[in-house]
Amino acid sequence: MKSRFLFPHKWRLVGYCCFAATMVFAIALKLLHPEGYVYADLHQVPGSGHHLQPDTIIDQGTRWHNDIITSLIILGLVLIAFSKEKIEDEQISQLRLDSLQWATYLNYAIFFICVLFIYGVHFIPVLIFNTISPLIFFIIRFRWKIHLLNSPLRNEEENR
């Protein structure tokens, strides 16, 4: 079976490098600026509690950091998730499809719970996480299923 929409196998390594380098940069940026750049500044408006000022949601001088980090994380995860295996057969394609379906169900179940219980400015991190969580869930599930598929083969080879 020929998959037309998968990247070549060697691009998975590019994806891992892109994802790892971006995560190191994001963690370093968080350590250098623990207050963060994503969250809005809350200003007290008399008589109405906290109020978001539209121009202060993201600091204009650091907006590009968030854009680049998010873009590179998504790029790395897409390359990891959708690169071919060395041997891409129908069983692998079925595992890929099952894992994608499982990841979608899990993602929307978590998102539905968050929609019910998280409000206001605290919902922003939920939306950010929701952009990458389907890919993360898919990669974890797919890699785990591949590992389980290969485990009996490895044990059989060791016993010979």
Strand segments, DSSP code E, in 10-151 are: 42-45, 49-52
- Could you report the per-residue pLDDT of 49-99, keeping only the tens digit for each? 555 554 444 455 556 777 888 899 999 999 999 999 998 899 999 999 999
96 vs 88: CA distance, rounded Å: 10
CA distances from 47 to 50, 51, 52 (A): 9, 10, 14
**Whether residue 28 is found in the same domain as residue 43:** yes
Q: Which phi and psi angles does 43 have, rounded to 5°?
A: -120, 140
Q: Are residues 1 and 78 in the same domain?
A: yes
| 73 in the same domain as 29 | yes
**What does the alpha-carbon distance between residue 121 and residue 54 come to, in Å, rounded to a whole number?**
12
Q: Which long-range contacts (CB under 8 A, 24 or more apart) does 11-14 make?
A: 11/79, 11/83, 12/79, 12/80, 12/83, 14/79
Does 94 share its domain with 70?
Answer: no
Q: Are 146 and 95 in contact (CB under 8 A)?
A: yes
Whether the per-residue pLDDT at 115 is higher than 80: the answer is yes
Domain that holds residue 43: 1-84
- Do both 50 and 95 map to the same domain? no
Task: Map residue 50 onto helix, strand or coil.
Answer: strand
Query: Mean pLDDT throughout 103-132?
Result: 93
Same domain, 8 and 74: yes
Per-residue pLDDT band at 38 (split at 50, 70, 90): very low
Rounded to two decimals, what is the model's pTM?
0.77
Please tell me the total count of domains within the chain: 2
